[in-house]
């Protein structure tokens, strides 16, 4: 597995995150997974089965990972940056629901290149 890219701040990560979600089908899979995961968690709490709340993980991430592996054909940002990726899932969903995602997609650099922490690489290659 490739080493996770390094970012100077969250905004830099979010630009990368949006790039990893450039396909609308992948974004829809994330939205379905997040909404279905939230509904599973709410249903578990309403049914007084708090342990079943944990089912949001396979439900939500199942849809999201399918979007990456099947549609976008890339690796989920969750693998290298789980916390920022989790927050970004909600941020992206909020932007989608508010109709503001297109302006963010257009503002993200087309070929974002994050820093890599591998100091053994030759910078001249």
Dump pLDDT digits (tens) for 22-61. 999 999 999 999 999 999 999 999 999 999 999 999 999 9
Q: Model confidence over 97-125: pLDDT tens digits?
A: 999 999 988 776 655 565 554 444 433 33
Q: Tokens for 80?
A: 């290298």
Identify whether 5 is part of a domain. no
Tell me which residue range forms the domain holding 81. Answer: 10-107
The SS3 assignment for 51 reads: helix
Rg of the chain over Cα atoms, rounded to whole angstroms, equals: 16
Cβ atoms 5, 116 nearer than 8 A: yes
In a domain, 51, yes or no: yes
Instruction: Assess if residue 86 is contained within a domain.
Output: yes
Domain assignment present for residue 24? The answer is: yes
Q: Which residue has the tokens 């890339």?
A: 74
Which candidate, 110, 101, 108, 125, places its Cα nearest to that of 26? 101
- Determine the 3-state secondary structure of 49 from DSSP: coil
How far apart, in whole angstroms, are the C-alpha atoms of residue 91 and residue 114? 20
Classify residue 42: in a domain, yes or no.
yes
């Amino acid at each position: 597995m490739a080493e996770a890219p390094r970012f100077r701040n969250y905004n830099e990560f979010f630009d990368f995150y949006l790039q990893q979600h450039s396909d609308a089908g992948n974004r829809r899979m994330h939205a379905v997974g997040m909404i279905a995961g939230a509904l599973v968690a709410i249903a578990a709490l309403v049914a007084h089965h708090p342990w079943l709340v944990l089912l949001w993980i396979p439900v939500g991430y199942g849809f999201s990972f399918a979007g990456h592996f099947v549609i976008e054909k890339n690796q989920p940002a969750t693998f290298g940056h789980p916390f920022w990726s989790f927050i970004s899932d909600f941020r992206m969903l909020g932007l989608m629901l508010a109709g503001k995602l297109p302006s963010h997609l257009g503002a993200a650099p087309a070929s974002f290149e994050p820093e890599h922490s591998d100091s053994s690489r030759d910078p001249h290659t």
